[in-house]
Amino acid sequence: MPDINELLAKSRVVPLVQADDPTIAVEISRALAAGGLSVVEVVFRTDRALECLQAVADQVPEMIAGAGTVLTAVQAEAALANGAKFIVSPGLDDAVVAVAKKHGVPIYPGIMTPSELQHAYNLGLDTVKFFPASIAGGIPALKALSSVFRSMRFMPTGGVSPENLADFLAIPAVLACGGSWLTPKDAIDAGNYEVVTALAAAAVSIAKKARP
C-alpha cells in the first residue's frame, strides 16, 4: 500500500466523487485517472455511497479511493470495510479519528478554527482538511495558521477552483487541495466524462506549474 500523503503531495489535487450508482462512480473515477489523477474521495452524500466506494476500490485499481463526508465512527468502520484507504471528515470528531488510528489509515478531519486545529494536533494528527476554505478565511487564514502550527499540513476544500488552485498550492503547508469542480454534475448526468478528464488534466497542469 503506497503512502497516501506521498501520493497526495504528488497529485496535489483530490477530486470529490458523488454518485448514487456504482457504475457512474467507476466511470467518473476512470475519467479522473485518465486526466492524470491517482487519488479520489468518494463522498458519503448518497444512499448508495458505500456501494460506489467499493466499486471504485475494486474496479479502478489505478485510483486510490478514500471515503469523504464521514460523520460517525460507524460510518468510518463501514468505509474501511468497503475499500476506503483513507478517511475524510467535514469536522473533527474524536471517535472517527480513533477508528482510523485503530486501523492504521490516514484521517483528514475538517478544521476551521485555531482551537480545532490545536485539538487535532494534540490528537497526534499532522494533516487536516481546512473546510470550508473560502468561508474559513482562505489563503490568509491558512498562512496564519501554518505560521503557528508549523508541523501541520493542510488540505483546503470548499471554494477551491482552477482560478485559485495555484495560490493555495503556493503555500508550503498545503499538501493538496480537494475539489468538486472536477466532477460537474451536468456533464456527468449527460454521460460526458471527457469533460471530467479534461478538467482533471487542466488541474494537474496548474498544480505542476504551481509546485514543480
From the list 41, 51, 77, 194, the catalytic residue is: 41
Residue 129 annotated among the catalytic residues of the structure: yes
Whether the per-residue pLDDT at 2 is higher than 70: the answer is no
Domains of the chain (ranges; CATH) run: 4-210 (3.20.20.70)
Interior/surface letters 73-82, b for 16+ CB within 10 angstroms, e for the rest:
bebbebbbeb
Predicted local distance difference test score (pLDDT) of residue 212: 75
Predicted local distance difference test score (pLDDT) of residue 1: 55
Predicted local distance difference test score (pLDDT) of residue 175: 96
From the list 129, 163, 185, 209, the catalytic residue is: 129
Q: Where are the alpha helices (DSSP H) in 21-137?
A: 22-34, 49-59, 73-81, 94-103, 114-122
pLDDT per position as a tens digit, 28-58: 999 999 999 999 999 999 999 999 999 999 9
Whether the per-residue pLDDT at 91 is higher than 80: the answer is yes
pLDDT per position as a tens digit, 119-158: 999 999 999 999 999 999 999 999 999 999 999 999 999 9
- For cell 460517525, name the residue: 72
Predicted local distance difference test score (pLDDT) of residue 131: 97
Residue 41 annotated among the catalytic residues of the structure: yes
pLDDT per position as a tens digit, 167-191: 999 999 999 999 999 999 999 999 9
